[in-house]
Structure 1
Amino acid sequence: MRTSIVLIALLGAHALAGCTSGDAGDPSPDSDRLESPPPGAGVQYRMVSTVAPGQEIERCKLFVAPPEGLYVNRDEVRFSPGSHHVVLYKTAYREIPAETREGVAVDATEVHDCNSGATAAWEITGVIAGSQSYEGNSFLGELPEGVALRVEPGTVLVMNTHYLNATAAPLEADARVNLYTIPPEQVEQEAGMLFHYNPFIRVPAQGESSARMRCPIAEDISLVRVQSHMHRRGVGFVAHHVRAGGGMEEIYANEAWEQVPVKVFDAPLEVKAGEALDFRCDYENTEPRDVAQGLTTRDEMCMLIGPYFPRRPGVDNCSDEHGVPAETWIGSGAATCADTLACTAAVASNADFFGCVVDSCPGVAEQLAGVLRCQISAGYGACDDACAEGAEAPESPDACAACMADACAAESSACAAAACD
């Protein structure tokens, strides 16, 4: 159980120099070249690498934002076909580290492999820009006049690409992200980027499944555009605006997992405090093995992405004011909350852990999420010391479990009493 809690905490935390990074040459003559913004109008970040035949790889490169910072009003992304995504993240760093979070020494100013994902390798704090479509549909797009996403002065950025070369020849991959800026005095509201990720995915062999998540909105926001993110077993995606009274209004639907369409609202969609965003991914698995959430194309994902304003830090990754996940994960099965917790305690793999939650009934979603949130946050901080790596003394090997049982007693009782109907 301890291993599962650590993994969920990792997933819940997620799922970002100068004028240009384009000094590596251009080995991709057939790509749709994207020129850098004019001087004073923005910056370009670029990655160039070779992907071997049959290779699937995630790669990263780190940059430092200009000393004056950036106020980004628009992005533009182009990359060679064969990539599942290109993302520009921001980090907690103010200088480029010499090793990854995993302790691997690397010259991060150069393109390097990060096949566990950018969020595993680097201390990611948010998303700036990116795209799942080499034809140009990007995450940020164009924000309303006077609205900009802020990149703090000197922030270290991570550019991340995910390529699968299904051909018999080397693929010369060229990815470019343009950030178009406005002067600070023109900024009236700061934008944020919601990057909502549901890790509770398991699709049975030769079967079908769904993954659904709801994020409460604590303060008023306006959504500019939205899009989905799934892998190749994704056959349907739908997102709803949940009104304060519980009514659900469909705001986006899509059946594609690549070349993903973007919904741009004619006028920004107002989501009021006390309302929510709810999204669901539907999957069909033709393989003779179960598929769970993960980073590669052998795995699955379920995400809702889009820029909004004004920025509310908790909205970006769906967390509360303390950084604790605020999501409600809604199962599609028939298991009670108590049965689901018993299931999670008995499983031996993370994929099966995810499956326990997927198999829970929708009626106990709030109570189940309450227990999971308590576990993810180590009893809302009460068990940080007891559950720290290596903290358990030999004479009390169950110190973490005992602390968590006490700290999460109220949530566990509510779960035990919850019924599916």
Structure 2
Amino acid sequence: MLACAALIGCGSEVVEQPHPQATTSGTSTEGWTTLIDTSWEIGGGSESYWCATKTFHEDLYINAFRPLGSTGTHHTLLLWSKGNQPDSETVCGPTLDESLLFASGVGTDDLVFPEGVALKIPAGTQLLLNLHLFNTTTAPLPGISGTLVKTLAPSEVKQEAEMIMPGANGISVPPNSPGSVQGDCTFPGDATLMSVWPHMHKYGTHMRVTHQMNTGEVPLHDASFSFTEQKNYPITPVPVLAGERIHFECSYMNTTSKTIGFGISSDDEMCFLGLYRYPKLASACQ
């Protein structure tokens, strides 16, 4: 576990549960190990970001992810680090890009891959844990957040998985009105899709995801979105051929008197779709 530090930021309103020391999405920890975690403390009525990095010295094959988070952890992003700096912990800013390999929010449950499928962390890799923290109380709030995993032995791995994160551009939701935006990811090679993770902010209301083929479309996910319960949605594995598309549409309800556009704040909006697939391909989308 890494050391703690105080964070200071701007206030925001988020619904949270009573404070535990640290919580996971399941009741049993059998078979789960800590991949990365960090201790933090955030001032009363504040919002901020906290980052920790960790370097792995042996190949690691991950078959399942589980979020670890105390109250005050709004969301957790686990990314491939782009730097070569020593492992550290520090106040930071938000990070969300194509280097993402696991994400969790309030209410995210376990993500378990099919038998023999694993995401590889090569020896020498440094991972970045990016935390978005909220404290809706008036007192300082300490916590522990991170990611737990289950792993496979190299001999048990039959397919190497990856996470990709296509997004949609052009978000502009008029004041006191609904709105939507659409995006696509055309697969550059044959792969099997096994999970979707919708990501919007607090004005997001619905996401619809379909598999687009020459013969028509097949719905993969069509459900309401809740900013306070951001889940991964495992699906029955779906073969997607090279040139076929995953199409997604994000819907919003703007309850403010200003136009809502793209941005990193919870008061702005996003439309991203986390997809887990195997095997690992040369590029995310065409």
Shift of 1:206: 1.9
Shift of 1:43: 4.1
Q: Are positions 1:59 and 2:50 aligned together?
A: yes
CA contact (8 A) 1:64 1:96 kept: no
CA contact (8 A) 2:201 2:227 kept: yes
TM-score, normalising length: structure 2 = 0.85
1:234-280 CA distances to partner (integer Å, 9 max, x unpaired)? 111111111124x2221102222221243222x31111222100001
Larger radius of gyration: 1
The within-5 A match list for 1:256-271 is 256-265=226-235, 267-271=236-240
1:20-68 CA distances to partner (integer Å, 9 max, x unpaired)? xx2548xx75432699876xx7543112211222212122111111x22
Match of 2:281 in 1: 312
Aligned-partner Cα distance in 2 for 1:203–1:54: 28
Q: 1:292 to 1:227 in 2, by over 3 A?
A: same
Match of 1:188 among 155, 158, 177: 158
Structure 1: give runs of 5+ residues left out of the alignment.
Answer: 1-21, 98-107, 319-325, 327-421
Q: 1:109 to 1:23 in 2, by over 3 A?
A: closer
Paired amino acid for 2:64: R
Paired amino acid for 2:72: G
Q: Are positions 1:129 and 2:102 aligned together?
A: yes
What secondary structure is seen at the aligned counterpart in 2 of 1:185? helix
Q: 1:159 to 1:261 in 2, by over 3 A?
A: closer
Paired amino acid for 1:270: P
Match of 1:385 in 2: none
The within-5 A match list for 1:259-408 is 259-265=229-235, 267-315=236-284, 318=285, 326=286
Paired amino acid for 1:178: L
What secondary structure is seen at the aligned counterpart in 1 of 2:243? coil
Aligned-partner Cα distance in 2 for 1:163–1:64: 23
CA contact (8 A) 2:45 2:135 kept: yes
Match of 1:244 in 2: 214
Q: 1:147 to 1:33 in 2, by over 3 A?
A: closer
CA contact (8 A) 1:48 1:173 kept: yes
CA contact (8 A) 2:117 2:157 kept: yes
Match of 1:96 among 77, 85, 93: 85
Aligned-partner Cα distance in 2 for 1:172–1:305: 29
**As a proportion of its length, which structure holds more helix?**
1
CA contact (8 A) 2:55 2:124 kept: yes
Match of 1:340 in 2: none
Q: Are positions 1:113 and 2:91 aligned together?
A: yes
Equivalenced residue count is: 269
Paired amino acid for 1:176: G
Shift of 1:185: 2.0
CA contact (8 A) 1:78 1:136 kept: no
- Of structures 1 and 2, the one with the larger relative CO (CA 8 A, separation 6+) is 2
CA contact (8 A) 1:244 1:274 kept: no
Aligned-partner Cα distance in 2 for 1:215–1:45: 30
1:304-327 CA distances to partner (integer Å, 9 max, x unpaired)? 113110111322xx3xxxxxxx4x
Larger mean Cα displacement after TM superposition, 286-295 or 42-51: 42-51
TM-score, normalising length: structure 1 = 0.59
Q: 1:216 to 1:198 in 2, by over 3 A?
A: same
Q: Are positions 1:170 and 2:140 aligned together?
A: yes
Q: Are positions 1:224 and 2:203 aligned together?
A: no
What secondary structure is seen at the aligned counterpart in 1 of 2:155? helix
**As a proportion of its length, which structure holds more strand?**
2
Q: Percent identity?
A: 27
Q: Are positions 1:254 and 2:254 aligned together?
A: no
Match of 2:149 in 1: 179
CA contact (8 A) 1:52 1:171 kept: yes
Aligned-partner Cα distance in 2 for 1:168–1:178: 30
Match of 1:31 in 2: 22
Shift of 1:175: 0.8
Structure 2: give runs of 5+ residues left out of the alignment.
Answer: 5-18
1:200-257 CA distances to partner (integer Å, 9 max, x unpaired)? 2121222221111011112111111112111010111111111124x22211022222
CA contact (8 A) 1:36 1:44 kept: no
Paired amino acid for 2:279: P
Q: Are positions 1:204 and 2:174 aligned together?
A: yes
Paired amino acid for 1:183: A
Aligned-partner Cα distance in 2 for 1:313–1:170: 46
